[in-house]
């Protein structure tokens, strides 16, 4: 039987790894893990997990750390795409057609202070007037999704002006410093699991500044846009300020 996992916190739902959910009731968080028919409950407070179990066997103390570590890497915005169906002030709805992800109507909220609305081709800022009914859109949002119908999320990035070939940059956070791949280029790993070849002559520019940046500025924790070529290698990068 396929295991499905959710996180509910103050009326919000978030997907995590297999067999795991985080639930918040009245300020008390619990991690619920279902494995092999056994339901285990872990208290989680301030990022620390103190686990108890309803199973017959005691759970090893090491499970606390494992539960925390398995959750943390998942806290990244979800990438979704589809067609815009309705627009409003600081929000819009679209029909998500995301492969291996949520499909159906989603309401996306735009935080004027945090959400980036970007032209998909140039990577430069675009206005909310570019979010038009019937147009294609790609969104990085969440990872929290409300339990309402349709679900609602706040966007980190909204890509508009999607080209006909559907080429859309990745919005990525660098997981570790660049590694020399021994072939005249580098290997870039992102926190959401992408491993990307970066040629030594790959174009890299700063976002909205005149700073001088190089590939060596792709250090752990930096956020960037990455356009990929037909082979999946980076051909252009825009680096956000640290």
- Could you write out the three-class secondary structure of the chain? CCCCCCCEECCEECCCCCCEEEEEECCEEEEEEEECCEEEEEEEECCEEEEEECCCCCCCCHHHHHHHHHHHHHCCCEEEEEEEEEEECCEEEEEEECCCCCEEEEEEECCCCCCEEEECCCCCECCHHHCCCCCEEEEEECCCEECCCCCEEEEEEEEECCCCCCCCCEEEEECCCCEECCCCEEEEEECCCCEEEEECCCEEEECCCCCCCCHHHCCCCCEEEEEECCCCCEEEEEECCC
SS3 of residue 111 by DSSP: coil
- Residue the block writes with tokens 């675009």: 126
Give pLDDT tens digits along the chain (242 positions): 443 334 433 344 444 333 333 333 334 443 333 333 333 444 433 333 334 344 434 444 444 444 344 334 557 899 999 999 999 999 999 999 998 888 999 999 999 999 999 999 999 999 999 999 999 999 999 888 898 999 999 999 999 999 988 899 999 999 999 999 999 999 999 999 999 999 999 999 999 999 999 999 999 999 999 999 999 999 999 999 96
Runs of H (alpha helix) within 103-203: none
Round to whole Å and give the CA distance between 28 and 16: 19
For residue 122, the model assigns a pLDDT of 97
Round to whole Å and give the CA distance between 32 and 6: 10
For residue 1, give the nearest of 19, 23, 21 by alpha carbon: 19
Domains and CATH numbers, the chain: 8-74 (no CATH), 78-168 (2.40.50.140), 171-239 (2.40.50)
For residue 232, the model assigns a pLDDT of 95
For residue 1, the model assigns a pLDDT of 42
For the entire predicted model, the pTM comes to 0.71
């Amino acid at each position: 039987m396929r295991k499905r996992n959710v996180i509910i916190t103050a009326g919000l739902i978030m997907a995590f790894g297999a067999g795991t959910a985080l639930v918040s009731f009245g300020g008390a968080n619990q991690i619920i893990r279902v494995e092999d028919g056994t339901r285990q409950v872990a208290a989680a407070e301030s990022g620390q997990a103190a686990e108890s179990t309803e199973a017959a066997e005691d759970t090893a103390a090491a499970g606390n750390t494992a539960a925390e570590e398995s959750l943390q890497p998942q806290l990244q915005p979800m990438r979704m795409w589809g067609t815009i169906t309705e627009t409003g002030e600081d929000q819009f709805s679209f029909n998500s057609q995301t492969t291996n992800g949520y499909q159906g109507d989603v309401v996306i909220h735009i935080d004027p202070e945090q959400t980036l609305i970007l032209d998909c081709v140039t990577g430069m800022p675009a206005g909310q007037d570019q979010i038009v009914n019937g147009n294609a859109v790609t969104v990085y949002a969440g990872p929290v999704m409300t339990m309402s119908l349709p679900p609602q999320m706040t966007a980190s990035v909204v890509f508009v002006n999607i080209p006909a070939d559907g080429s859309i940059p990745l919005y990525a956070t660098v997981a570790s410093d660049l590694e020399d791949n021994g072939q005249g280029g580098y290997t870039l790993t992102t926190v959401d699991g992408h491993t990307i070849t970066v040629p030594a002559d790959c174009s890299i520019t700063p976002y909205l500044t005149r700073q001088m940046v190089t590939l060596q500025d792709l250090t752990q924790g930096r956020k960037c846009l990455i356009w990929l070529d037909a082979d999946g290698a980076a051909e252009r990068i825009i680096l956000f300020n640290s």
